Amino acid sequence: MKRSTAALAAACATILASTGVLLMPRAEAAVQGCRVDYTVTNQWQGGFQAGVKITNLGDALSGWSLRFTFPDSGQKVAQGWNATWSQSGATATAASTDWNRTLASGASADLGFTGTTTGANPVPTAFTLNGVTCTGTTGPAPTTTTPPTTTTTPTPGRTPLAANGQLHVCGVHLCGESNRVVQLRGMSTHGLQWFDGCYNDASLNALANDWHADLLRIAMYVQEQGYETNPPWFTNRVNSLVDEAEERGMYAVIDFHTLTPGDPNYNLDRAKTFFASVAARNAAKKNVIYEIANEPNGVSWGAIKSYAEQVIPVIRAADPDAVVIVGTRGWSSLGVSDGSNETEVVNNPVNAANIMYTFHFYAASHKDNYRSTVSRAAAKLPLFVTEFGTVSATGGGALDQASTTAWLDLLDQLKIGYANWTYSDANESSAALRPGTCAGGDYGSGALTESGALVRSRISTADDF
Ligand code: IDC
């Protein structure tokens, strides 16, 4: 919002009047400016805690009032500290208290509050200090999560699994055992029937230690020479990769990679058999997430929901506390690729707790209209991008760096977890490793394709858990 000079002058006059300081004519106008660092330090179902650091970039103040606007009308300040807090509509105000009224030039004040929320909990906007817009805001990523003071500080070097333990769905996010929001970033295998040789000690060490991946998605195709041809072999291989991920402190997404035919009900019996087995075998582990249908296509949301409501109880019977991810219509596009959108899920959700919904994208094929769907849907549905490509939906074609960056920035902002297709040396541009890498055994930076280098640069940055 742009404020008029008159409004600024009025705001200054109000402050000066309220603090009893005489407004003297000056040769130069007072320097004004501020910066606000807003950090969500903890979140849980229906609530959150935020820290607000105000830095005065102008002349000294002897009384101040910070205002900001919650973009989601469901957000409310419940209890604040280090200021007198109030809220009117979506606008919250924090006024200085007696002991922190004076804010010298360059000085900071640390405030905070716990709030309630009914939805996505986006970061507020339009921060003003004494009516002056805080353009010095560094723009912390929305819902940036730093270690809350109320729980143990994560030890640097701890693995994602050690830091977060058993995951659960909290509101629209994934949370660790201490209820801190967790965004998992990692890689998907290619089809195990073709690229099993790419998943060995050296490649998985590189993924955990060099890529700093939080998760390995284990893509077990059901058709195309996959699970249906040899259930015991595929089941064992999935289990062994769960163990390999666990040993390295990574989460494992067990992906029942249905693709053709697109109706998951075609594989309903196989899914029940497979998930009963892997859920029983891995029930005591904390690193397993179940993805029950990769990309439903040519099928209604009602049919997918019916499938989910038959498979989820099988998993829960054996492994009650694990998160389950449900595929969506139109190749897990939340229906967009079929001309629909997220409302079909919002209005008719799967009848189960502790679940998330799948969204997939290929950056060169799926752009703004898919991104706006995800931004909208993320306020209402827990989403997990269990698969995305930097290229076109064929798995080939040119890498689209701009679209990939826009997508990953959005997912980071929304704290949505993701896995990239693929950690393999397939001869296609979506693969992260150059052809021949897996036979050679060197998984260092020289092995990376253009896509691999880009994705690794995003995944390997420090986690904020
Ligand atoms: C593609 C592989 C390709 C393989 C094909 C087989 O990249 O090597 O021949 O599957 O069906 C998806 C699917 C995923 C696709 C990928 C790229 O989940 O199985 O992998 N993709 O086409 N959805 C959108 C794109």
Specify whether 309 is catalytic: no
Q: Does pLDDT of 5 surpass 90? A: no
Tell me the residue type at 132. V
The whole-number pLDDT of residue 30 equals 83
- Whether the full predicted model's pTM is greater than 0.85, yes or no, is no
The answer, yes or no, to whether the previous bond of 135 is cis (omega within 30 of 0) is no
Backbone angles phi, psi at 91, to 5 degrees: -100, 125
In percent, the amount of the chain with pLDDT more than 70 equals 89
User: 407: part of which helix (H) or strand (E)?
Assistant: helix 401-414
Specify whether 387 is catalytic: yes
Residue range 175-202: mean pLDDT, rounded: 96
What tokens does 332 get? 């897990």
Atom index in ligand 1 nearest the CA of residue 295 equals 18
Q: What is the pLDDT of residues 335-389, one digit of tens each?
A: 999 999 999 999 999 999 999 999 999 999 999 999 999 999 999 999 999 999 9
Tell me the residue type at 266. Y
Atom index in ligand 1 nearest the CA of residue 389 equals 25
CA distances from 175 to 54, 170, 245, 265 (A): 28, 6, 19, 30
Q: Which of 378, 144, 208, 188 is nearest to 291 (CA)?
A: 188
The whole-number pLDDT of residue 27 equals 52
With beta carbons less than 8 A apart as the criterion, state whether 435 and 427 touch.
yes
Residue range 97-111: mean pLDDT, rounded: 84
The whole-number pLDDT of residue 297 equals 98
With beta carbons less than 8 A apart as the criterion, state whether 415 and 145 touch.
yes
Judged by DSSP in three states, 287 sits in coil
Distance from the CA of 416 to the center of ligand 1, in angstroms? 22
The whole-number pLDDT of residue 247 equals 97
Q: What is the pLDDT of residues 265-281, one digit of tens each?
A: 999 999 999 999 999 99
Instruction: Find the range with the poorest average confidence among 150-159, 298-307, 389-398.
Output: 150-159
**Furthest-apart CA atoms within the chain: distance in Å:** 87
Which residues lie below 8 Å from residue 367, measured CB to CB, with a gap of 6+?
403, 406
Which residues lie below 8 Å from residue 317, measured CB to CB, with a gap of 6+?
276, 279
Which of the four pLDDT bands, split at 50, 70 and 90, describes residue 155? low
Q: Tokens 């990309």: give the residue.
A: 295
Distance from the CA of 394 to the center of ligand 1, in angstroms? 6
Q: Which of 292, 291, 275, 289 is nearest to 160 (CA)?
A: 289
Alpha helices in 206-300, H assignment, sequence order: 231-247, 268-282
* Average model confidence (pLDDT) across the chain: 89
Q: What is the pLDDT of residues 75-95, one digit of tens each?
A: 999 876 778 999 999 999 999
With beta carbons less than 8 A apart as the criterion, state whether 349 and 343 touch.
no
Q: Which of 423, 360, 425 is nearest to 388 (CA)?
A: 360
The whole-number pLDDT of residue 116 equals 87
Q: Does pLDDT of 260 surpass 70? A: yes
Instruction: Find the range with the poorest average confidence among 114-128, 301-315, 340-354, 407-421.
Output: 114-128
Name residues contacting ligand 1 (CB within 6 A): 224, 259, 294-295, 331, 360, 362, 387, 393-395, 421, 426, 428, 430
Judged by DSSP in three states, 39 sits in strand
Which residues lie below 8 Å from residue 435, measured CB to CB, with a gap of 6+?
425, 426, 427
Which of the four pLDDT bands, split at 50, 70 and 90, describes residue 20? very low
Which of the four pLDDT bands, split at 50, 70 and 90, describes residue 243? very high
Which of the four pLDDT bands, split at 50, 70 and 90, describes residue 4? very low
Atom index in ligand 1 nearest the CA of residue 194 equals 8
All domains of the chain in start order, with CATH: 5-133 (2.60.40.290), 160-459 (3.20.20.80)
| Residue with more model confidence, 342 or 42 | 342
